[in-house]
Amino acid sequence: MNCNIAVIKGDGIGPEVVSEAMKVLDAVGVKYGHTFNYEQLLMGGCSIDVHGVPLTDEAVARAKAADAVLLGSIGGNTSTSPWYKLPPEKRPEAGLLKIRKELGLFANLRPAFLYNELKGACPLKEEIADKGFDMMIMRELTGGLYFGARETKELDGVLTAVDTLTYNENEIRRIAIKGFDIAMKRRKKVTSVDKANVLDSSRLWRKIVEEVAKDYPEVTYEHMLVDNCAMQLVKDPAQFDVVLTENMFGDILSDEASMITGSIGMLASASLNETKFGMYEPSGGSAPDIAGQNKANPIATILSAAMMLRYTFDMDKEADAIEAAVQQVLVENYRTCDIVSEGTELVSCSQMGDLIAARV
């Protein structure tokens, strides 16, 4: 199969980790007879430096013409980078919001899986970590508070900021359907997270989820308030399969889930639209403090590439091969600096890519 991939390496460690994911994809291509064609685009701070904006319309058009997007990390150090002296709509992260909206990427999938070999890095109690966990956080990505109308103005002599949280039933229904579809491929359980005791948007969310659930009689589902979910993630993460939630709650909960795995450098993510098109990226940030030092952990980006093979190209065995290669490297005790521990061997970003590619 010929696969056309728009590659956005981004800022900070983005170019390093994306290069290793491409290396692994090329190894898959050799073994399974596929051709991966890459077109590199600019987004984020690197685009600001060249074009003066975080994402050009031309880059959006070229991304739309591809089969999928492989993305690195966007942004820099907010306290020192000149990018953050610009107005909000000109900063690196504005490009990320724009491309999600332009590509219709409303469903964000963030798996959180605790590898047996990394249990020692899990910050939870040993008896909790020993149970393990394997969850998929399904976050609505193009609505809610992050995309609502906002303004800051003076009212009666007092400076006042207003952010608007809006969801309609169609936005909720399509993400709920995606969530239940994913649950059908996993352990058939959905935990829908909201704040229905306070918010009208959450009460609508709960109503629509209940309607969608009727079409999935094999899936067990429950409602959970977001504050309780935040507590349950550290108390008993093994209880979760698919966690379905709105934009801001999903942003926060997925970062919490990432840290209980031991390292955010291990976590992939996918953002899908209503077709098989998706954008695939690591869950972590651009880590400008270690950029260019060949220290970054590329596993999250490599696993994101595996998700791309699975969800966009229907290459399940190829995705399985990448995931098995990652597992094998961990079994063999190779580690990047963020997950290294006594008795393991420290390797660089590029060495980790080489090791995984060799085991595909």
In this predicted model, what pLDDT tens digit does every residue of 54-80 receive, in sequence order?
Answer: 999 999 999 999 999 999 999 998 888
Output the domain CATH number for residue 39.
Answer: 3.40.718.10
Within a domain: 350: yes
335: left (phi over 0), alpha (psi -120 to 50) or beta: beta
Within a domain: 291: yes
Q: What is the pLDDT of residue 267?
A: 86
Q: What is the pLDDT of residue 283?
A: 83
Instruction: Indicate whether 247 and 127 sit together in one domain.
Output: yes
Instruction: Indicate whether 195 and 138 sit together in one domain.
Output: yes
CA atoms of 27 and 21, how far apart (whole Å) = 10
Q: What is the pLDDT of residue 219?
A: 98
Q: What is the pLDDT of residue 285?
A: 85
Instruction: Indicate whether 168 and 254 sit together in one domain.
Output: yes
Across-strand partners of 189? 220
Range of the domain at 360: 1-106+275-360
Within a domain: 193: yes
Q: What is the pLDDT of residue 7?
A: 98
Q: What is the pLDDT of residue 188?
A: 98
The candidate with the shortest Cα–Cα distance to 25, out of 328, 319, 350, 331, is 319
Tally of CA atoms within 13 A in the half-sphere of 349 that contains its CB: 22
Within a domain: 89: yes
Instruction: Indicate whether 173 and 69 sit together in one domain.
Output: no
CA atoms of 338 and 137, how far apart (whole Å) = 23
Instruction: Indicate whether 55 and 134 sit together in one domain.
Output: no
Instruction: Indicate whether 83 and 143 sit together in one domain.
Output: no
From 260, 295, 314, the end of a domain falls on: 260
Instruction: Indicate whether 88 and 25 sit together in one domain.
Output: yes
Q: What is the pLDDT of residue 58?
A: 97
Which positions ≥6 away from 107 have C-beta within 8 Å? 138, 139, 140, 141, 174, 175, 178, 179, 271, 272, 273
Instruction: Indicate whether 235 and 141 sit together in one domain.
Output: yes
Within a domain: 232: yes
Instruction: Indicate whether 256 and 127 sit together in one domain.
Output: yes
Q: What is the pLDDT of residue 52?
A: 95
Q: How many domains does the chain have?
A: 2
Task: State pLDDT tens for residues 283-300.
Answer: 888 999 999 999 999 999
Within a domain: 267: no
Instruction: Indicate whether 82 and 129 sit together in one domain.
Output: no
From 236, 260, 284, the end of a domain falls on: 260
Residue positions annotated with a catalytic role? 146, 195, 227, 251, 255
Instruction: Indicate whether 5 and 89 sit together in one domain.
Output: yes
From 260, 292, 311, the end of a domain falls on: 260
Within a domain: 175: yes
Give me the residues of the chain with pLDDT under 50, please.
Answer: none
Within a domain: 253: yes
Q: What is the pLDDT of residue 175?
A: 97
| pTM to 2 decimal places | 0.86
